Amino acid sequence: MNTISQIQAVGKYLRLSTQKTRRILHQIKGKNYQEAILILEFMPYKPCKIIKKILESAGHNALNLKYEKQNLIIHQAFANEGPKLKRFQPRAQGRAFKIQKPTCHITIRLGLK
């Protein structure tokens, strides 16, 4: 197996919307490691903090494989749907409305320039 494909980090069962997360991941895809960290630091969205932690984890995984952080770019960054947490909201006259709280799995793969 190629060692480049092993430089990755995964966050699972995160209480974030998949669509909102994908919007942010699309912004950092193809960027180098340092630039992506900088972009995530100054974006005002909730998933940015979690995505930044996953990206830093992938960077540390690259250091363990003896790669320099300045030589890394983001090859793949994607979010898949996780299981939905199902809840009920009580309503008038004994009714109940279903609430589905989404979760997602974020994967970031790094490669060399």
- pLDDT, residue 2, reads 57
Give the span between the Cα atoms of 58 and 97, in whole angstroms.
40
Give the span between the Cα atoms of 73 and 44, in whole angstroms.
23
Domains of the chain: 4-112 (3.90.470.10)
Residues 33-81 have pLDDT tens digits of 999 999 999 999 999 999 999 999 999 999 999 899 889 999 999 999 9
- pLDDT, residue 28, reads 93
Residues 10-28 have pLDDT tens digits of 999 999 999 999 999 999 9
The pTM score is 0.88
**In the chain, what's the furthest Cα-to-Cα distance?**
64
**How many CA atoms lie within 13 Å of 21's alpha carbon, on the beta-carbon side?**
27
Token pair in block for residue 69: 């952080």
The residue to which tokens 């250091």 are assigned? 63
Residues 38-50 have pLDDT tens digits of 999 999 999 999 9
